[in-house]
Amino acid sequence: MTKGIILAAGRGSRMGKLTDYQPKCLTKINGKTLIEGQIENFKKCGIDDIAVVTGYKREVICAFGTQEFYNRNWSETQMVSSLECASAWLENFRCVVTYSDIFFSSSAIKSLLESKNNIAITYDPNWLDIWSRRFGDPLEDAESFRLSPEGEIMEIGLKANTTEEINGQFMGLLAFSPIGWDIANKVRGQNDSSTNRQQDMTSLLQQIILADITQIKALPYNGDWGEVDTADDLLIYGQ
């Protein structure tokens, strides 16, 4: 059985007034909220058990999933700490995990379901087009992303100086098997508590790569998708 986890604990402060009264995942794209679109895509792929990791304004989103995991330290921690709140699922089931501020089609989830790797992610190989529209200089925000010929991640999440260092961009959608999650916990056990509280997802993936315990599979996704970080992003996506 595979379960879905939506990471929706943060406020999304870069959205300005748009998140004064609601989390970013309630922003509408193509007539529906981001979280509604994600749940719809999970269900299209046969994933009916969907947890929402909440934090900011939990009361307005806690009922969207079949399970709520609350990150009471949401204002002081980063994405991986939020994911740890769902450890009860991650330790026992394969889980597809998504950031709550992205939209995508169900085919992205389907590719993760078909993967047998302990850790797999989706990425956009055509990243430069959308990053060029979102940023005056695409390298302002883009992170390094280097792949092996077999499609496994060799480097992710570091500062990139040229576009040649970037074979794609991580979308914020990934999957862990229980073994994969155990590996993540083992490498985090090498960190101090402060580092773990502030660790983002790509730095965790990079730490796993450096530990050389397992390979992380990168699955190309060529469908419609986007990340909503600022109000200007809504203009980019035609809202």
Q: Is the pLDDT of residue 168 over 70?
A: yes
Tokens for 163, please give them.
């576009």
Domains in the chain, CATH or no CATH each: 2-236 (3.90.550.10)
Alpha carbons 145 and 94: distance in angstroms, whole number: 25
**What is residue 239's predicted lDDT score, i.e. its pLDDT?**
54
List residues bridging with 102 in a β-sheet.
Answer: 227
Question: How would you class 125 by CB atoms within 10 Å of its CB: exposed for 0-12, middle for 13-18, buried for 19 or more?
Answer: middle
Write out pLDDT tens, residues 80-125.
Answer: 999 999 999 999 999 999 999 999 999 999 999 999 999 999 999 9
Q: Is the pLDDT of residue 147 over 90?
A: yes
- State pTM to two decimals: 0.96
Tokens for 129, please give them.
């087009």
Alpha carbons 235 and 239: distance in angstroms, whole number: 5
Strands (E), the chain: 2-8, 28-29, 32-33, 50-54, 67-70, 94-99, 102-103, 119-124, 143-147, 153-159, 169-176, 216-220, 226-227
Which residues have a Cβ under 8 Å from the Cβ of 102 and sit 6 or more positions away? 34, 38, 171, 172, 173, 225, 226, 227, 228
